[in-house]
A and B are shown apart, each in its own frame.
Chain A
Amino acid sequence: MAEYLIKNGFVFDPVIGIRGDIADIAIKDCKFVETSEVKDPKVIDAAGKTVMAGGVDVHAHVAGPKVNVGRNFRPEDKLFTYKPRSGVERMQGGFSVPTTIRTGYNYARMGYTTVMEAAMPPLYARHTHEEIRDTPILDQGAYPVFGNNWFVLEYLRNDEIENTAAYVAWLLRATKGYAVKVVNPGGTEAWGWGLNCENIHDPVPYFNITPAQIVKGLIEANEYLGLPHSMHIHANNLGNPGNYTTTLDTFRLSEGIRPRSKFGRDQVMHHTHVQFHSYGGDSWANFESKAPEIIDYVNSHDNITIDLGAVTLDETTTMTADGPFEHHLTELNHLKWANTDVELETGSGVVPYIYSPSIKVCAIQWCIGLELALLAKDPMRVFLSTDHPNAGPFTRYPRIMKWLMSEEARNQQIDSFKYRDKVIDATNLAGIDRELDLYEIAQMTRAGPAKALGLSQIYGGLAPGLDADVAVYDFNPNEPYAPDDIETAFSSAEHLFKTGVQVIRDHEIVSNGNKRTLWVNAKVNENPQVMRDVREKFLRYYTVTLNNYEVSGHYLPNPYVIEVDATQ
């Protein structure tokens, strides 16, 4: 197969510990190799350019029924955004909820090669995998949601960790899922009664269990199995003034628990889109940033990782399995709303949203997302995200990099806010002069997320033996540049290789790649009780049979199975 040598670029790679020095990167077949191992490589001249591993996104909503509801009920999101087929590129459309095709291409343009779908309703796993299959280039996995699942609630009510683990293993296999996702634990189930769980001790109606028990139990089940990724949580009370205390309470549930995984991660809890969970005040009038309190906790506890959920100040489409939150949001902005209950498992909602720089709350939210990144002491545990499309479309990642790397760019934005002074009073961003460098950006977007996913053996760096995912950006960090140059360069990779295949050449997409779907096959001891419970629930409650539930092989034409042995 092909050999490539990417010569003389400024390389930023936390895995081999190289901080912008000039180095050559060699690719043979689908892996990185030592430069001495390539005999007759095709040479890519990267002199004066930036070289980084392919980006890894731990949390984005890019496939599945809720994303598709967003596409269907927002035709205006596609208005004037269609692009006809050209070359190998298929027709694309959409801005905040792009088509699967555009999702793949636009991530690739930013130099991203791995993207995790953050919430898969198990009942609709087939739909999710159909969309993943139709998303070109990217390696993807999907996290089934567990935090409102009747099996989980019933087992954990009785502290049955082993049964929970057996069910988790079964469901990961049945849905071809990657990790344990928890969304508003107990709250989405309570929404079925028109209620919510607003803190971690608020009991779930009927099930007589608290969010704290659900979260702690799922962390324990996750570590019982030793899964590649940790439990991945969107905590209770998202988006409300004063919710930072709920977030800290949720963090504390991980105290004293260490990872029991062979996949090299250090965390037992990944808390997602923390921007939405770092709010002070008790109303929208005195709404303020509590990012320092939140990030202080993260800085001092190495068994937690987070991603930002940074607000990008765009018109976007919010979507989450947190049904009650979406109802709350439509009551606030009076825009259209879709809501659904997924029998026995979860729910979801979708509402369009405009983060306007002229609205004080939106501007404060923007500050909070950036504060979290700029106050973080360990960029290997704090990842760049927008909770796409909730806080903004993923295509704005390069703009977030610009804000993180340039105080000037941040100040320009702050000065343009309508309520500039009030926003400065309610936040800390204006007093932060830190500017991240490209090494730290590589930690937040490559090495860090790959490690937290338990995938550092294939992704996140340029070390020999890793999959050859690498981007070359037309950006010289050693020459003077304007803030906007950062955004321009990282929006359009000059070259991109995905598992050794050149996907982008001279900024043009030249291949639809060799996408793979990752899933975790956890082997556990036979558990007749759990299998009997599964059969019984399908007979009594589910509207489908087991045969119409499990995701069979043809949904994953190119699977990448990660085997976990939890038998004992």
Chain B
Amino acid sequence: METVTLTMKNQPDLYLEADNITPDAFAGKKVEEIADLHVYVGREQHRLGEFFEVSGRAGATPETTKIVINGDLSRVKYIGMKMTGGEIVVNSDLDMYVGAWMQGGRITVNGNVDSFAGTGMKGGELIINGNAGNYLGAAYRGDWRGMSGGKIIVSGNAGSDIGTFMTGGEIIIGGDVDVHVATHAEGGRIVIKGNAKSRLGGQMVEGEIYVFGTIDLMMPGFAYRQDVDIDMDGIKGRFALYEGDLGERHRKRKGQTIYGKIYQLIEA
């Protein structure tokens, strides 16, 4: 694995749209070529090198390329967009759309991220050692194809509307979440280790939500079924199982109706 290091040297006047910061775009390029990749500030096109000091070397393929980014990146969007492999480590807070539509590889953010992280994600790992904003792992505006694979791990809290239209993959939140979890979901798993507020699983037809803490208000479309003991993938304890959203269509599999499931921890 070869490493390219980017160090922020100039802040953009507006926000920087840097969807070219991916192992896919960097692979096989020299440092000067990487500095020549374009970024957008508003409608103006600029060179990556105008904002970042570029050093190190890229691997021949995305899989053998690691990108380490230092400096204050709180106004940089779209890092790791559509990446298929390799690794990105960001030592800063980030703006929106980190790891959006990513298909493989790993992104580690040592800081907080703004909204739409992991939008439409298909694969790979997105690790956020901080808090996440709204629409984590959700679908793009208007789209009905949300996160379909891969894993998002947030050590802190997340905002509202996480996992909207999720169809697969896993989101693990170490802390609390705001309203609207897994709205319209048709699969996937969301684990909330802290507390949730309300509107979990609205219009959900399939998928799982685990809540270790409190839920302020359960949706009226979810019905309590039974208590179950679970011990898998770091989820251990006795949970109350709710099924829903009963107001929605639900498909059948082997004669059984499939529901969205909410598990709430009773005792560890």
Binding site for B on A (CB under 8 A): 73-77, 79, 84, 334-336, 352
Query: Is the CB–CB distance between A76 and B143 below 8 Å?
Result: yes
Which residues of A have CB within 8 Å of B140?
75-76, 79
Which residues of B have CB within 8 Å of A336?
142, 144
B119-147 at interface with A (beta carbon < 8 Å):
140-144
Query: Is the CB–CB distance between A75 and B141 below 8 Å?
Result: yes
Kindly state the separation between the CA atoms of A336 and B143 in the bound complex, as whole angstroms: 9
Of the residues B141, B142, B143, B249, contact of A334 by C-beta under 8 Å:
B249
Once A84-B43, A334-B249 are accepted as A-B contacts, the answer to whether A74 and B144 lie under 8 Å apart by CB is no
Binding site for A on B (CB under 8 A): 43, 140-144, 249
Closest residue on chain A to residue B142 by CB atoms: A75
Kindly state the separation between the CA atoms of A159 and B144 in the bound complex, as whole angstroms: 48
Which residues of A have CB within 8 Å of B141?
75-76
16 A-B residue contacts at CB 8 Å?
A74-B142, A75-B140, A75-B141, A75-B142, A75-B143, A76-B141, A76-B142, A76-B143, A77-B142, A79-B140, A79-B143, A84-B43, A334-B249, A335-B144, A336-B142, A336-B144
Kindly state the separation between the CA atoms of A461 and B142 in the bound complex, as whole angstroms: 43
Closest residue on chain B to residue A74 by CB atoms: B142
Grouping DSSP codes into helix (H, G, I), strand (E, B) and loop, the A interface class, with mixed when no group exceeds half, is loop
Kindly state the separation between the CA atoms of A335 and B141 in the bound complex, as whole angstroms: 14
Closest residue on chain A to residue B144 by CB atoms: A335
Kindly state the separation between the CA atoms of A73 and B141 in the bound complex, as whole angstroms: 9
Kindly state the separation between the CA atoms of A90 and B1 in the bound complex, as whole angstroms: 44
Kindly state the separation between the CA atoms of A84 and B144 in the bound complex, as whole angstroms: 27
Which residues of A have CB within 8 Å of B144?
335-336, 352
Which residues of A have CB within 8 Å of B143?
75-76, 79
Kindly state the separation between the CA atoms of A334 and B206 in the bound complex, as whole angstroms: 14
Which residues of A have CB within 8 Å of B142?
73-77, 336
Among all A-B residue pairs, the 4 with the closest Cβ atoms? A76-B143, A75-B142, A76-B142, A75-B141
Kindly state the separation between the CA atoms of A452 and B179 in the bound complex, as whole angstroms: 57
Closest residue on chain B to residue A76 by CB atoms: B143
Kindly state the separation between the CA atoms of A334 and B144 in the bound complex, as whole angstroms: 10
Kindly state the separation between the CA atoms of A74 and B142 in the bound complex, as whole angstroms: 6
Kindly state the separation between the CA atoms of A334 and B140 in the bound complex, as whole angstroms: 18
Which residues of A have CB within 8 Å of B249?
334
Closest residue on chain A to residue B186 by CB atoms: A334
Kindly state the separation between the CA atoms of A74 and B141 in the bound complex, as whole angstroms: 8
Kindly state the separation between the CA atoms of A336 and B142 in the bound complex, as whole angstroms: 9
Kindly state the separation between the CA atoms of A335 and B142 in the bound complex, as whole angstroms: 11
Which residues of A have CB within 8 Å of B43?
84
Kindly state the separation between the CA atoms of A77 and B144 in the bound complex, as whole angstroms: 12
Kindly state the separation between the CA atoms of A334 and B250 in the bound complex, as whole angstroms: 11
Kindly state the separation between the CA atoms of A73 and B249 in the bound complex, as whole angstroms: 22
Kindly state the separation between the CA atoms of A477 and B142 in the bound complex, as whole angstroms: 44
Kindly state the separation between the CA atoms of A334 and B167 in the bound complex, as whole angstroms: 14
**6 additional contacts, CB 8 Å, given A75-B141, A84-B43?**
A75-B142, A75-B143, A76-B141, A79-B140, A336-B144, A352-B144
Closest residue on chain B to residue A84 by CB atoms: B43
Most buried by B among A73, A79, A352: A79
Closest residue on chain A to residue B141 by CB atoms: A75
Most buried by A among B43, B140, B141, B142: B142
Kindly state the separation between the CA atoms of A84 and B17 in the bound complex, as whole angstroms: 15
Kindly state the separation between the CA atoms of A77 and B143 in the bound complex, as whole angstroms: 9
Closest residue on chain A to residue B248 by CB atoms: A334
Kindly state the separation between the CA atoms of A79 and B140 in the bound complex, as whole angstroms: 9
A209 to chain B minimum Cβ distance, whole angstroms, is: 36
Which residues of B have CB within 8 Å of A352?
144
A431 to chain B minimum Cβ distance, whole angstroms, is: 37
Closest residue on chain B to residue A79 by CB atoms: B140
Closest residue on chain A to residue B205 by CB atoms: A334
Kindly state the separation between the CA atoms of A336 and B43 in the bound complex, as whole angstroms: 32
Which residues of B have CB within 8 Å of A75?
140-143
Which residues of B have CB within 8 Å of A74?
142
Kindly state the separation between the CA atoms of A406 and B96 in the bound complex, as whole angstroms: 48
A71 to chain B minimum Cβ distance, whole angstroms, is: 11
B36 to chain A minimum Cβ distance, whole angstroms, is: 19
Kindly state the separation between the CA atoms of A361 and B249 in the bound complex, as whole angstroms: 22
Most buried by B among A75, A76, A335: A76
Kindly state the separation between the CA atoms of A336 and B203 in the bound complex, as whole angstroms: 13
Closest residue on chain B to residue A78 by CB atoms: B142
Which residues of B have CB within 8 Å of A76?
140-143
Which residues of B have CB within 8 Å of A335?
144
Which residues of B have CB within 8 Å of A79?
140, 143
Kindly state the separation between the CA atoms of A84 and B44 in the bound complex, as whole angstroms: 11
A324 to chain B minimum Cβ distance, whole angstroms, is: 20
Closest residue on chain B to residue A73 by CB atoms: B142
B34 to chain A minimum Cβ distance, whole angstroms, is: 23
Closest residue on chain B to residue A75 by CB atoms: B142
Kindly state the separation between the CA atoms of A336 and B141 in the bound complex, as whole angstroms: 13
Kindly state the separation between the CA atoms of A77 and B140 in the bound complex, as whole angstroms: 11
B126 to chain A minimum Cβ distance, whole angstroms, is: 20
Kindly state the separation between the CA atoms of A344 and B264 in the bound complex, as whole angstroms: 53
B156 to chain A minimum Cβ distance, whole angstroms, is: 29
Kindly state the separation between the CA atoms of A568 and B239 in the bound complex, as whole angstroms: 84
Kindly state the separation between the CA atoms of A172 and B43 in the bound complex, as whole angstroms: 43
Which residues of B have CB within 8 Å of A334?
249
Closest residue on chain A to residue B82 by CB atoms: A80
A385 to chain B minimum Cβ distance, whole angstroms, is: 27
B98 to chain A minimum Cβ distance, whole angstroms, is: 17
Kindly state the separation between the CA atoms of A84 and B249 in the bound complex, as whole angstroms: 42
A41 to chain B minimum Cβ distance, whole angstroms, is: 41
Closest residue on chain B to residue A333 by CB atoms: B144
Kindly state the separation between the CA atoms of A84 and B43 in the bound complex, as whole angstroms: 9
Kindly state the separation between the CA atoms of A335 and B143 in the bound complex, as whole angstroms: 10
A53 to chain B minimum Cβ distance, whole angstroms, is: 39
Kindly state the separation between the CA atoms of A79 and B143 in the bound complex, as whole angstroms: 10
B139 to chain A minimum Cβ distance, whole angstroms, is: 8
A329 to chain B minimum Cβ distance, whole angstroms, is: 14
Closest residue on chain B to residue A85 by CB atoms: B43
Closest residue on chain B to residue A352 by CB atoms: B144
Kindly state the separation between the CA atoms of A352 and B142 in the bound complex, as whole angstroms: 11
Kindly state the separation between the CA atoms of A79 and B101 in the bound complex, as whole angstroms: 12
A336 to chain B minimum Cβ distance, whole angstroms, is: 7
Kindly state the separation between the CA atoms of A268 and B212 in the bound complex, as whole angstroms: 70
Closest residue on chain A to residue B139 by CB atoms: A76
Closest residue on chain A to residue B143 by CB atoms: A76
Closest residue on chain B to residue A91 by CB atoms: B43
Kindly state the separation between the CA atoms of A334 and B248 in the bound complex, as whole angstroms: 10
